Structure 1
Amino acid sequence: MDLRLPSSVHVFERGWLSSNNILFSGEGGTALVDSGYVTHAAQTLALVRHRLGERPLERLLNTHLHSDHCGGNALLQQAYACHTAIPALDAARVAAWDEEALSYRATGQQCARFSFDATLAPGDTLQLGDLPWQVLAAPGHDPHALLFYCAREGILISGDALWENGFGVVFPELAGEPGFTEVGATLDLVASLDVRLVIPGHGPVFGEVGAALARARARLDYLAADPVRNAQNAVKVLLKFLLLERRALALEALPGLLVSIPLVERVRRTLLPMAPHALAQWATAALLRAGAARIEEARLVDV
């Protein structure tokens, strides 16, 4: 399988607290797609500086504005004064810095305030790494998310719309808005493209796109059959994110911590009707079963 990237495209695979970053160079200038989480911003800057050397970072673009994809924006703007482009449908929220509408307050996550110079919308075309890229809509995980597709190279930058094994939490459904149908439509769009390899928001670059789409559709069918499953997945993901950020959490503090996150509390009241301590016990057990955490000295510790 050919997973080679053009020499003008470099991927920093970051893990799960920070999204992957895609750095472009070439005669047409330099650019970065997605900047990771705010607590990793200094590391993002160091990675970019190491790769670019004396060259400046001229442009910054975001597939979507969840905190793990744009948390490094502010520091990169401070360091480089880079021209920044964000999804058009989020422009008013960023201009007003509405942390509720941008999901940061709802998810209990952080994001340093940043500005923008331009917007991106489906149908736009870009030049990144001396290659032409199409901007495509990718609603579902985030209603305003975008894909970047280079037909010449068969490369798709998918954000959290498609991973090698699934996709991001379907957040709109948790707020009472449609999301499952939109995920399906995005997967259909990806299937219609001639994609050789995918650069996902998390995880390694992968080929075998048909197999990944089949796994994603099976996952979607499973979640859509019972919305409680999507709610349970969201609680697990948000708790794991806190663990990734803080490394360890006191067990006795978990009930209060979870219900202090507005989205988790909404889910608890509407889809997972259980007392806060019961929800904390359930979420802890779920992470332990998955091998994503361990208990050590009355603390839940990241693995």
Structure 2
Amino acid sequence: MAPTLTAVVTRRDERRVAPRPVGTGWRQRLEIVMFVSPALALMAVFVLWPVISAVRMSFYRWKGFGPMDQWVGLDNYRLVLQDEVFTDAVMHNFTIVVLSILIQLPLGLGLALLLNRRIRGRGLLRTIVFVPYVVAEVIAGVVWFQLLQPQYGVIDTVLTNIGITPPEQGFLGTPELALPTVFVVLTWKYLGLAVLLFLAGLQGVPDELYEAAQLDGASWWQTQRSVAIPLIGPTIRTWAFLSIIGSLQQFDMIWVLTHGGPANRTTTMATYLVEQGTERGNYGIAGAASVLLFVIAFVTAVAYQVVVMRRDTAVQR
């Protein structure tokens, strides 16, 4: 009698699924533990433990010497939140966030669209745009600090030679011009990352879509606006997320250029907590400020993920 269909399928599945050797699961788990343990150990030592120490420090009044035994509870948080310098620093951080989205986004997107075209010297132009991003922040800050020196700096000298009177205290020493000048330097430094990400996104747009748009009579700008830019929307939103978090944590360039001055006009949350801790010895206040910086950045990141990147996350799932 011919075998039934169920019997044939059952025998075929039995031949296909080979029994797994005893101990294979434990061996795989052991390999995973061995490869992951060094990274987890480094994260625990250099990330988790400092975070726990900062939170613990924020509940004490401690000058960095002796035992940490003067408990003050939430008093450090109250002092930080009542400090006008810190509240101004928060506003400076969010000012950099807004300016980054309003200025760096269209500028980086425009450069990416232009550098995506077949033009002579395209590779050299891409390198020139991206080089500032790979330069160390401290080195770039020192170079710009020398260029912006009042009276004797290169920029002041050039402006004087063409008939423009530069600020007497320099661009970094004038309170009204300090933050805009710092933002110009930040744009020069980080614009290359935006261009690189946008170019990578544009490389993924199929050529057939460009050809179809051209056959329909669309101009180059209409093609970019209706085809390319909508398709790289996830890339744009990812860059915006990185820009927002980086702006909230901005420290290196501002510390080198202005040290938070003049008159705290360029102070950020990061420079505030470093100044309180390393220069004034108020480690409890610095710990509270660091916790508040973490909370602000975390809430902003979660809100951005939920409101802006929700569609991208749903598509990936």
Is TM (by shorter chain) over 0.5?
Answer: no
Higher relative contact order (CA 8 A, sep 6+): 2
- Which structure has more strand as a fraction of its residues? 1
- Which structure has more helix as a fraction of its residues? 2
TM-score normalised by L of structure 2: 0.24
TM-score normalised by L of structure 1: 0.25
